[in-house]
Amino acid sequence: MKLLARTTAILLLYASVVAVGGTFVYYTVIHRLYYAYVDRTLGRRKVRVELALRKELRTPADLAFWHRIDHNVEFTPLAGNAPAAPGPNIFQDRLMYNTLTGKQQWYRQVAGTEVFRGRAYRLEVRSSLLDGPALLGGIVGAGALLFGVLVGGMLLIQHVLARRYWRPFFATLGVLQQYKLDQHHAPALPPTRIPEFQALNTALGHVLGRHQRLYQRQREFAENAAHELQTPLAILRTKLDLLVQAPGLTEEQAGHIEPLLAVTQRLTHLSRSLLLLTHLDQQLFFATETVDLATVVRTLLGQMAEQLAAGNIALSADLVPSLLVSANRSLIEILVSNLLSNAIRHNLPGGELRVSLTAHLFSVENTGRAQALPADQLFARLRPRPDRLPGSVGLGLPIARQICETCGFLLSYHYQAPGRHTMRVKM
């Protein structure tokens, strides 16, 4: 649930509780006020009746006459002796038949004992009551109307506010979603007048800028280090080239030179791979052209025929006749070459190599260790792995993955059957 929807839901829940509770509180308060008013009015009328009883009325017939004119005043003679003083007022609700409406109806009455002409009477003064459920219904209706207006207004305001005041937030979010560490500049976050979002943007700007600078520095370092290695390597290599020309070179000396040639080769490979990786990371422009992937695969397989033969590896290739892709030729060649040579080098003697190329998928499968490779470490740079071969620099797959990213392909590793490792490039 979205943040705004969540706060709105909580507010709505609270508002409903208040609305329901409020209705009953409101009802009780009005009910009480009304009763207090009715009781006071009844009390005053009773006082007037008592005054009339002492001054105006003469005979019991007058009492009956009053009741006939006003139904809400009634005298009932009581049996027994007259008490010394009038009794206390007793308020109560009662149901009575109303002759005008022809219905049973609630009345409020005050009753007391009066003494008239030496006889005791019970005096009841009444007033018809408001209908309770009708009152409650009215209050609930009015409350519901108010609640509806309140909630509707709130939702509308929140919607408008969310769109207006949260706009900088969504702008920042959009920029962050587009952001990649390897782009050349830290993204510009649009300024906003809302202090919270401005603070957020400033803080993010600092963090992003810092990361960008660190990343840039590290990348430059890798590139410069690789560059600085080229000249010493060039000296090393050319001196070795001259050394092997020495007349009278003995077999023992040659035995010492050979490993030097091999490590020089390895160092060269390492520094070139690092350079290529930093260039790929920098997303330097690589000119694209139309490359026939099928031809590239066939050519490279042809070049690797001797390695296949040396490992006694059976090759089965299922390639479409031609597959044109728009990419940089050198990168495509490095990608295919890395995948194929990996599959050959990590193969078992007498193993199998299956290469297939369809319109959208290039896959290379080789027989190997009967254990899945750790997929998370497979593409890590220079990470020592149990399956690393001696002499390998461990940059082949990271380079392949980076090339795929540059070309918009997807490289993945699959281990579907025991001892069969597959690399797939989805185009």
- List residues near other proteins by CB under 8 A: 227, 230-231, 233-242, 244-245, 249, 251, 254-255, 257-258, 261-262, 264-266, 268-269, 272, 275, 279, 284-287, 300, 303-307, 309-310, 333-334, 337-338, 341, 345, 391-392, 396
Q: Smallest distance, Å, CB 244 to other proteins?
A: 4
Q: Smallest distance, Å, CB 393 to other proteins?
A: 9
User: Which of 112-136 are b and which e, b meaning 16 or more Cβ less than 10 Å from the residue's Cβ?
Assistant: bbbbbeeebbebbbbebbeeeeeeb
Indicate the pairing of strand 314-319 with strand 352-357: parallel
Provide the terminal-to-terminal Cα distance of the chain, rounded to the nearest Å: 36
In the complex with other proteins, which residue's Cβ is closer, 192 or 402?
402
In the complex with other proteins, which residue's Cβ is closer, 15 or 300?
300
Q: Smallest distance, Å, CB 247 to other proteins?
A: 11
Q: Indicate the SS3 state at residue 328.
A: coil
Q: Smallest distance, Å, CB 248 to other proteins?
A: 12
In the complex with other proteins, which residue's Cβ is closer, 100 or 242?
242
What are the DSSP E strand ranges found in 379-419? 410-417
In the complex with other proteins, which residue's Cβ is closer, 196 or 258?
258
Indicate the pairing of strand 410-417 with strand 361-367: unpaired
Residues 6+ apart with CB under 8 A from 49: 73, 123, 125
Give backbone dihedrals phi and psi of 181, rounded to 5 degrees, phi first: -60, -30
In the complex with other proteins, which residue's Cβ is closer, 168 or 351?
351
Length of the chain in terms of residues written: 427
Q: Indicate the SS3 state at residue 216.
A: helix
Q: Smallest distance, Å, CB 250 to other proteins?
A: 8
CB 55 within 8 A of CB 164: no
Q: Indicate the SS3 state at residue 361.
A: strand
Q: Which pair of tokens denotes residue 329? A: 């030729």
DSSP lists the bridge partners of residue 424 as 363, 412
In the complex with other proteins, which residue's Cβ is closer, 16 or 253?
253
User: Which of 309-319 are b and which e, b meaning 16 or more Cβ less than 10 Å from the residue's Cβ?
Assistant: eebebebeeeb
Q: Smallest distance, Å, CB 318 to other proteins?
A: 22
Give backbone dihedrals phi and psi of 344, rounded to 5 degrees, phi first: -80, -45
In the complex with other proteins, which residue's Cβ is closer, 102 or 302?
302
Q: Smallest distance, Å, CB 327 to other proteins?
A: 14
CB 420 within 8 A of CB 353: no
In the complex with other proteins, which residue's Cβ is closer, 210 or 256?
256
Distance CA 204, CA 226 (A): 33
In the complex with other proteins, which residue's Cβ is closer, 41 or 264?
264
Instruction: Give the H/E segment covering residue 90.
Output: strand 90-98
Q: Smallest distance, Å, CB 196 to other proteins?
A: 45
Q: Smallest distance, Å, CB 258 to other proteins?
A: 6
